[in-house]
Amino acid sequence: MSLADLGWNQDFENKFNQINNQGGYQVARVAVEYKGIYKLYTEIGKVLGEITGKMRYNNKFPVVGDWVVVDLQIGGERAIIYDILPRKSKFSRNRAGSKAQEQIVASNVDTVFIVTSLNQDFNLRRIERYLTITWDSGANPVVILNKADLCDDIEARKSEVEAIALGVPVHVIVALDNKGIEQLKKYFKKGDTVALLGSSGVGKSTLINSVLGKEKMKVNNIRKDDGKGRHTTTHREMILLEEGGIIIDTPGMREIQLWDVSEGLSDSFTDIEKLAQECYFNDCQHDSEPRCAIKNAIKEGIITEKRFNSYKKLQREIKYMEIKKKRGANAAEKYKWTTLGKL
CB half-sphere exposure, 275, CA atoms < 13 A = 20
Q: Where are the alpha helices (DSSP H) in 189-304?
A: 204-212, 262-268, 270-276, 293-299
Q: Residue 200 annotated as binding?
A: yes
Residue 203 is assigned to a ligand binding site = yes
49 appears as a binding residue in the annotation:
no
Q: When comparing pLDDT for 111 and 335, which is higher?
A: 111
To the question of whether residue 205 is assigned a binding role by annotation, the answer is yes
Query: What is the SS3 assignment for 270?
Result: helix
pLDDT tens-place string over residues 112-153:
999 999 998 899 989 998 898 888 888 999 999 999 999 999
| H-type alpha helices, 165-252 | 204-212
Alpha helices per DSSP H over the chain: 10-19, 53-57, 124-137, 154-164, 204-212, 262-268, 270-276, 293-299, 305-342
Known binder of ligand: residue 287? no
CB within 8 Å of 202: residues ≥ 6 apart: 115, 116, 117, 121, 146, 147, 229, 252
Q: Is 108 annotated as a binding residue?
A: no
3-class DSSP assignment, residue 232? coil
| pLDDT grade for 244, boundaries at 50, 70 and 90 | confident
Superfamily holding 90-249: P-loop containing nucleotide triphosphate hydrolases (3.40.50.300)
- Parse the chain into domains and list their residue ranges: 10-84, 90-249, 262-342
CA distance 265 to 134: 10
pLDDT of residue 231: 45
Q: Which CATH class is domain 10-84?
A: mainly beta
Q: Is 231 marked as binding a ligand?
A: no
pLDDT above 70 covers a percentage of the chain that reads 80
DSSP designation for 159: H
151 is in an annotated binding site: no
Q: Answer yes or no: are the C-beta atoms of 268 and 131 closer than 8 Å.
A: yes
Phi, psi of 124 (to 5 degrees): -65, -35
Q: Is 336 annotated as a binding residue?
A: no
Fold observed for domain 262-342: Ribonucleotide Reductase Protein R1; domain 1 (1.10.40)
Please indicate, yes or no, whether the overall pTM of this predicted structure exceeds 0.75: yes
CA atoms of 42 and 79, how far apart (whole Å): 10
Cβ-contact 233, 200 below 8 angstroms: no
Query: Hey, is 98 helix, strand or coil?
Result: coil
Q: 310 a known binding residue?
A: no
